[in-house]
Structure 1
Amino acid sequence: MSGFAVLAVLGFGVAYIGPMTATSPRAQAAEVAPISLYASTIANAQAYLAASDQTVGLGRDGVVYSVYVTPKPTPTPTPSAAKGSSSSSSSWSPPFVAPDPGTAQSIAYGMVQQRGWGDDEFACLVALWNKESGWRVGAYNAGSGAYGIPQALPGSKMASAGADWETNPATQIAWGLGYIGGRYSSPCGAWSHSQSTGWY
Structure 2
Amino acid sequence: MSRISVRGFAVASATAVTTVGAVVGVAAGDTGQQQPSNDFEAASAGDATLLADIPSGQQARVQTATLTQQADAQADAADIAARKSAEESARKSAAEAATAKKEAAVKQAAAEAKAKKEAAEKLAKEREEAKKQAASRSATRDASSFPVQGSYSTAQVQAMARQIVPADQFQCFSNIVNHESSWNYRATNAGSGAYGLVQALPGSKMASAGADWQTNPATQIKWGLNYMDGRYGSPCGAWSFWQANSWY
Higher strand share: 1
Give TM-score scaled by structure 1 length: 0.46
Higher relative contact order (CA 8 A, sep 6+): 1
Largest Rg, 1 or 2: 2
Normalized per residue, the structure richer in helix is 2
